[in-house]
Amino acid sequence: MIIIDGVSKSFNGFHAVKDFSLAVGPGEIFGLVGPNGAGKTTTIKMMTGLLSPDKGKILLVNHDIVSEPTKAKSVLGYVPDKAFLYEKLTLKEFMFFVSAIHNVSRSGALSRIESLFDTFGIRDMEDELIEGLSRGLRQRLVFCAALVHDPKVLLIDEPFTGLDAFGVRTLGEIMGRLSLKGVSVLLATHSLHLAEDLCHRIGFIRGGTLVSINEKEEIKGMEGGLEGLFMRLGR
């Protein structure tokens, strides 16, 4: 469950996010779309604790990200838009590290890592250094790291960057499974057709303000679908 209540953030007088409120229920996949610089990444960064909101409240499974950051982050999985990694670690070492700082037990982590590596098709390169990975393979690893501790909330910023068709399909299937398990997913993306396929609801953000929220079926009934809506609201 994600609750964002009246959140604002500005940088040197520029209002990146203004009075943003949203609730994403358990098992819901919520898509956040909008033009470049609309405030999607800033909103997600505030939800992860990378940025602190100037005002408002963000609750992840009832834990406030500002006043209870450790508890809130323990239920959170995060995939950033530009994922820089520890280049000199192997994939498995990186996963060990991420699991350990999320307090996952050794036995739990080992089976979970193996299963995630199999799902994302990177098992055969688990002992290679990250520095040798392509962009798409890195993105798959970042997904593994975001899911290793069984999060209750998943925040994904531009999830399809660098992924091939296999990766996109796998990701779609995983999001479906996570949704069935009750995980709240919020994804910010420019891939409108994928957002239309995967998300239960889609919000449109412009100038830091959430200007509309529509159900998937509602959008399908609109002229031009999500792309048409984007063109109308994005101007």
Partner 1 sequence: MFSLFLRQKILMLRNSFTLGGLMRRLPFILLGAGLWLLLYFGTCRVLSFLRVTGTFGEILSEKLLSLVLSGVAVFLLISTVITSLSSFYLSRDIPFLRARPVETGDILKLKSFESVLLSSWTAALFTMPVFVAYGASYRAPALYYAVSSLSFLLLILIAGGMGMTAAHLLTRVFPAKRSREFLLGLGLLLFLVFYFAIKSSLPEGYASPQEFLKTFTLFKTDAPLFPGYWVTKTLLPAIKGRTPDVLYMTLLFGGSALFLFTADVAGRRLYCRNVEKIGPSRDGRGPLPERSYPRPGVAVFFKDIRVFFRDTGQWPQIFIIGALVAVYIYNFKSMPLRALMGLYPFAKEVLVIVNLFMAGLVLTAMAARFLFTSVSLEGRAFWVIRSAPLSSRRFLWSKFLYGFVPLTAIVTVLVSVTNYLLKVDGPILLLSEGTALLLSVSVCGLGAGLGAAFPKFEYENIASVAVGMAAMTFMLIALGLVTVTLSAGAWGYYTYAAKIRAGGFHTAESIPIALCLLFVLLINAAAFYLPMRAGIKKLRTMQF
Question: Which residues form the interface with partner 1 (CB under 8 A)?
Answer: 45, 48-52, 69-71, 73-74, 76, 78, 80, 82-86, 88-90, 92-93, 96-103, 106, 109-110, 125-129, 131-132, 134, 145
DSSP class of residue 90?
Answer: B
CB closer to partner 1, 133 vs 174: 133
State the minimum distance, in angstroms, from the CB of residue 29 to partner 1.
20
Q: Which is nearer to partner 1, 40 or 45 (by Cβ)? A: 45
Tell me the three state secondary structure of residue 29.
Answer: strand
We find the least distance from the C-beta atom of residue 132 to partner 1, in angstroms, to be 4
Query: Closest distance between partner 1 and the C-beta of residue 128, in Å?
Result: 5
Q: From the CB of residue 193, how many other CB atoms can be counted at a distance below 10 Å?
A: 10
Q: How far is CA 194 from CA 7, 50, 93, 168, 218, in A?
A: 27, 27, 32, 9, 16
Which residue lies nearer to partner 1 by CB, 138 or 201? 138
Minimum gap (Å) between residue 44 Cβ and partner 1: 10
Nearest to 188 by CA among 173, 170, 210, 167: 210
Q: Which is nearer to partner 1, 45 or 201 (CB)?
A: 45
The distance of closest approach from Cβ of residue 185 to partner 1 in the complex, given in angstroms and rounded to an integer, is: 16
Q: How far apart are CA 16 and CA 42, in angstroms?
A: 7
- Residue among 60, 52, 67, 68 nearest 2 (CA): 60
Are 174 and 119 a contacting pair, CB within 8 Å? yes
Integer Cα distance of 201 and 8 in angstroms: 22
Min separation Cβ 123 and partner 1, Å: 12
CB closer to partner 1, 83 vs 163: 83
Nearer to partner 1 by C-beta: 21 or 105?
105
